[in-house]
């Protein structure tokens, strides 16, 4: 269930109840990049938050936010990140929790900006009482939302030019990757696995929007047609096998040690096309659960898999 909570926090605020090397196109963090900060004008207002000065002690309790901050050159301003922020390697990782945030522990870091992905346990009002500026960067449901959020981070931290450049590069890279995949007359179906208990995502989630770029059909959509499950339904083995997906993507390869071999060994799965055709692909859990700059790597992983399947 923790995997579902992780995914839900990473991809939506609706379901509070639940990294791979690349080629030369890989989006790298730029924490030491010379920035436009010196030219930034304050105060700046983003949403309901106004900062009178450029923040110099940022606490990030969102692994996606951490990756974005470093990618736009705000890394030197980040003084503490949560226990799930494992990228980039030089991010100042602490024992702060983004899932169970503690106001006193956050305040002890003396931040001048805290970034969250969710207002869990009303942490925002708790930090407001302590007069600590807070920005909630909720999960996005598509790439446009990601680019908007990158721009907001750029404005808040004084790195607007770097933020714009990052979004432009991501857009160009993703468009090229998708364009280079040969077209197919019949869409491929897919099952995206969050954990071995068969929790998945629908097309209404950020992950679903990425697969939609390849024209793929999600077999999990039928399990949450009205979105009542927040886009994160749990499938039954019977329904999954019956849906017979052409491909299976595993976002639980690190957390739960799932692999093409473990899936193929599941009782009753031998008739599934993805199993029979060896079209099961292990993804990097971290990259697959974040909507930041390394989404380019996720898109590339999907493209590589799809391109190998005969049209």
pLDDT beyond 60 at 173: yes
Domain spans of the chain?
44-167, 183-308
**Per-residue confidence (pLDDT) for residue 36, from 0 to 100:** 53
Q: For 205-214, what is each residue's pLDDT tens digit?
A: 999 999 999 9
pLDDT of 82 strictly over 50: yes
CATH number of 44-167: 3.40.50.1980
Topology of domain 183-308, CATH: Rossmann fold (3.40.50)
Average pLDDT over residues 228-237: 97
What own/partner pairs with CB < 8 Å and gap ≥ 24 does 22-27 have? Answer: 22/297, 22/300, 23/300, 25/173, 25/177, 25/296, 25/300, 26/294, 26/296, 26/297, 27/71, 27/166, 27/169, 27/170, 27/173, 27/293, 27/294, 27/296, 27/297
Give residue 309's pLDDT. 95
Average pLDDT (229-258) is 97
Domains 44-167 and 183-308 share a fold: yes
For the segment 182-223, what is each residue's pLDDT rounded down to a tens digit? 999 999 999 999 999 999 999 999 999 999 999 999 999 999
């Amino acid at each position: 269930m923790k995997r579902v909570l992780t995914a839900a926090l990473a991809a939506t605020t609706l379901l509070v109840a639940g990294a791979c090397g690349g080629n030369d196109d890989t989006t790298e963090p730029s924490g030491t990049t010379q920035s436009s900060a010196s030219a930034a004008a304050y105060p700046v207002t983003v949403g309901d938050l106004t900062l009178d000065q450029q923040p110099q002690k940022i606490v990030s309790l969102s692994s996606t936010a951490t990756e974005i901050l470093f990618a736009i050159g705000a890394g030197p301003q980040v003084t503490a990140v949560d226990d799930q922020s494992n990228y980039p390697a030089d991010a100042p990782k602490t024992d702060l929790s983004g899932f169970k945030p503690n106001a006193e522990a956050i305040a002890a870091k003396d931040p001048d900006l805290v970034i969250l992905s969710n207002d869990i346990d009303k942490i925002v009002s708790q930090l407001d009482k302590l007069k600590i500026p807070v920005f909630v960067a909720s999960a996005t449901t598509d790439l446009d939302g990601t680019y908007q959020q990158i721009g907001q981070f750029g404005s808040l931290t004084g790195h607007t030019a770097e933020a714009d450049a990052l979004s432009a590069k991501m857009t160009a890279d993703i468009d090229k990757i998708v364009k280079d995949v040969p077209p197919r007359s019949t869409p491929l179906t897919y099952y995206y696995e969050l954990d071995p208990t068969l929790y998945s995502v629908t097309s209404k989630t950020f992950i679903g929007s990425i697969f939609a770029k390849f024209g793929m059909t999600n077999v999990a959509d039928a399990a949450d047609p009205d979105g009542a499950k927040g886009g994160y339904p749990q499938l039954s083995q019977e329904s999954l096998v019956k849906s017979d997906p052409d491909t299976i993507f595993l976002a639980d390869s690190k957390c739960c040690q799932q692999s093409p071999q473990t899936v193929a060994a599941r009782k009753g799965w031998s008739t599934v096309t993805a199993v029979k055709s060896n079209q099961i692909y292990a993804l990097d859990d971290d990259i697959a659960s974040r909507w930041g700059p390394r989404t380019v790597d996720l898109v590339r992983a999907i493209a590589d898999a799809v391109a190998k399947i005969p049209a």
